Chains A and B, each alone.
Chain A
Amino acid sequence: MAETATRTKPATRAKSRRSSASAANSGPFSGESAELLRGYFQQMTLIRRFEERAAQGYTQAKIGGYCHLNLGEEATVVGLMSALRKTDLLFTNYREHGYALAKGIEPGRVMAELYGRTTGTSKGWGGSMHMFDVEAGLLGGYGIVGGQIPLATGAALAIDYRDGDQVVMCQMGDGTTNIGAFHEALNIAALWNLPVVFVVVNNFLGMGTTVEKSSAESELYKRASAYRMHGERVDGNDVLAVRDTATRLVQGARESGGPALLEAVSHRLKGHSVVDPAKYRSEESVQEARDNDPVANFRARLVEAGVLDEDGAKEIERSAQADADAAVAFADDSPHPEVSTLFDYTYATPVANDSRRLPADPVF
């Protein structure tokens, strides 16, 4: 039950093949633009407020299905997304609302998808686990553990095929590193030198099973070595560390075309999904997650360093709350898809003699 002490260890930096970009952070925020820092705080706060409203919407039965929140992982999400260009592509697992927001999708469209409305990112067809937006470069959230990894590798193959300069990022959880698709896709990405950065968000829990109980090598970035791939671990609660490391790996993929594996060590503030009370967690581990709250800690650091004053921080929080509230209002006001559209998305190339549409239909 108890999670081991290794989780409190500061992130271990694996040896980097490239010069470290983190030197600029030796002082508190030296070399960082205040505007950028406030922007990160704003995004992290928006995700926090959005996810709180999502949890609320779920308990009000406005949102159905499963609902996996990014609470506690805001620094990882924002750090990773700030390392990507708008044209870079992202594949995620089912814990994706924050990624959709940080990749630049309107909060209203993200909430509308949770509400199953036509204005949602997948027109109400996907829900929490299946958001998609070509403009933003989000090529989907996927609900089968590990299913997205071969897809991301294939997207990188297409970029390579066309000599493009985009990079694919593929996000997953720690439990994913034990499924066959992970190993097959990493092997192929390395064999073919494809521009994809695999990101494992290690919150130490695959649903309720600890990483030590599920992964023979629980320092997950080390798995990269089996594929002669660069692997690195970063403190996922530090938005700047995540950004710097991810930026370096993304640049490397863009320049050399080769893949990398990044492990972001993070904490889940709540259960696996909204309905999971997380009774399997010890009080100590819950307390530890709270102590490592990336939003609260980043706020405190910014105020301490004078990047933000208390009023400025509150203003950002008010604004984020207003954005989350507006997203809920937008979702609430949006229509559900018409039942008449039920068969619109079975095939992209329509067929003359489709199979019967409903059991009650006559044969023809």
Chain B
Amino acid sequence: MAVITYRQALHDTLRDEMHRDDDVFLIGEEIGVFEGSYKITAGLLDEFGEKRVRDTPIAEEGFVGAAVGAAMLGLRPVVELMTINFSLVALDQIVNHAAKIYGMFGGQTSVPMVLRTPGGGGQQLGATHSQNIELYYAFVPGLKVVAPSTPADAKALLLAAIRDDDPVLFLENLALYNTKGEVPDHVEPAEIGKAAVTREGTDITIIGYSRMAGVATQVAEKLHDEEGINAEVVDLRSLRPLDRETFVNSVRKTGCAVVAEDDWLTYGIGAEIAASISDGAFDYLDAPVRRVASAEVPLPYAKPLETAALPSAESLTTAVRETLDAVGRRR
């Protein structure tokens, strides 16, 4: 078992999969000579050559569409979109084509491609470079959207995404690249569409994904150590398909829940989670489901404003305490 960064886990997985399967190739902006804006693909051009590590022009619709077309013929492109913000330029190819081709042709061809892309705020990148717009993709049947929160999960989910026959949006987070975690020597592909209970508990369920799943675990540990609160943490891992069973069962056990998400509140992922809890665990609920999310503003550049706009360990802790107070469960 090694302790490596989230970045290293992604890099190692890409490299291993390219060695395993000649049909796997990388395509995207600055992934070759520049070695990737966030250095995930460092060294891969030298190792695999231009055919399999393909630098593209700045033309997201063109190269994402080309990856879709190549995938239709059975190749397994792994696209790097420099940031999720630029995916909007390729939205037609992702939503109208990658997601629909299997269905609208009656299952005759699939699109086994991966779109890797980082999102998230906190780096003072301003409004157009700090978005959490995974919801746009999680909304679309035909796409799969996964969001690993740890290095081990990054590896397991990327393995699964590359080997999956459907288009998978693989959501990374800028704040996670340098985080470290234990990764087993041999990692099996994850089951896409399966959430994980990353901490067992009985007092309250905290549901998160990507960066906020990690924050949720930290908050749960701290509340346990300092206040004796025993929170259960569910890491969604997959936003579509969504594993309702795991988090609804958790809420049936604990009776209350807080959802932690980096996206905007209104119509966000948390809204879907809360509605699912209402459908599946209404009779078990002791308090309304709380949501901790980003302020509904274009993310500002100025540091104090940006910090205030993003959900944090503090805002999540407050929401957990207030929920427990409401049900009289805080010690």
Q: Which A residues contact B (CB, under 8 angstroms)?
A: 91, 120, 122-126, 130, 132-134, 139-140, 142, 144, 147, 149-159, 161, 180-181, 184-185, 187-188, 191, 344-349, 351-356, 362-364
Contact = CB atoms under 8 A, between A and B. Distances in A.
Given A125-B104, A187-B62, A345-B102, A152 B69 contact: yes
B154 interface: no
Nearest first, the 7 closest Cβ-Cβ pairs linking A and B are A150-B65, A154-B69, A184-B62, A123-B106, A363-B280, A348-B110, A154-B66
Nearest to B77: A154
Contacts of B51: 161
| A-side interface mostly | loop
A362 B280 contact: yes
Given A125-B103, A345-B103, A151 B72 contact: yes
A355 B164 contact: no
Contacts of A144: 92, 96-97
Interface string B1-42: 000000000000000000000000100000000000000000
Contacts of A157: 66, 69-70, 75
Given A155-B72, A354-B241, A150 B25 contact: no
Contacts of B276: 363
A132 B240 CA distance: 27
A349 B163 CA distance: 9
A346 B240 CA distance: 12
Given A147-B92, A185-B62, A353-B244, A130 B164 contact: no
Given A363-B248, A364-B245, A123 B65 contact: no
Nearest to B58: A184
B82 interface: no
24 contacts: A126-B105, A126-B106, A132-B108, A139-B72, A144-B92, A144-B96, A149-B65, A150-B62, A150-B63, A150-B65, A153-B66, A154-B70, A154-B72, A157-B69, A158-B73, A181-B62, A184-B62, A184-B63, A349-B110, A349-B166, A353-B242, A354-B193, A363-B279, A364-B280
A157 B50 CA distance: 13
Nearest to B244: A363
A348 B193 contact: no
Contact of A344 (B107, B112, B241): B107
B240 A150 contact: no
Interface residues of B, number: 57
Nearest to A364: B245
Contacts of B166: 347-349
A220 to B, nearest CB: 19
B118 interface: no
A364 B105 CA distance: 29
A188 B71 contact: no
B244 A356 contact: yes
A188 B109 contact: no
Nearest to B278: A363
Interface string B81-124: 00000000000110011000111111111101000000000000
B62 A355 contact: no
Given A150-B66, A345-B106, A355-B240, 11 more contacts: A122-B105, A156-B69, A158-B69, A185-B65, A188-B62, A188-B63, A344-B107, A353-B244, A355-B141, A362-B279, A364-B245
Contacts of B107: 123, 125, 344-345, 348
B93 A150 contact: yes
A348 B297 CA distance: 38
A134 B101 CA distance: 13
B61 interface: yes
A126 B104 CA distance: 5
A181 B61 contact: yes
A134 B73 CA distance: 10
A334 B109 CA distance: 23
A347 B280 contact: no
Given A363-B276, A364-B280, A161 B106 contact: no
Contact of B61 (A125, A139, A180, A354): A180
Contacts of B74: 158
B194 interface: yes
Contact of A355 (B65, B69, B242, B279): B242
B67 interface: yes
B299 interface: no
B165 interface: yes
A355 B241 contact: yes
A65 to B, nearest CB: 12
B155 interface: no
B64 interface: yes
B142 interface: yes
Interface string B182-195: 00000000011111
Contacts of A130: 104-105
Nearest to B110: A348
A110 to B, nearest CB: 14
Interface in B130-187: 141-142, 144, 164-166
B56 interface: yes
Nearest to A91: B69
A340 to B, nearest CB: 15
Contact of B73 (A120, A155, A191, A356): A155
A165 B182 CA distance: 47
B68 interface: yes
Contact of A122 (B92, B106, B246, B280): B106
Contacts of B244: 353, 355-356, 363-364
Interface string B232-275: 00000000111111101000000000000000000000000000
B59 interface: yes
* Residue among B51, B66, B104, B165 with most chain A CB within 10 A: B66
A161 B248 CA distance: 46
A132 B100 CA distance: 13
A187 B58 CA distance: 11
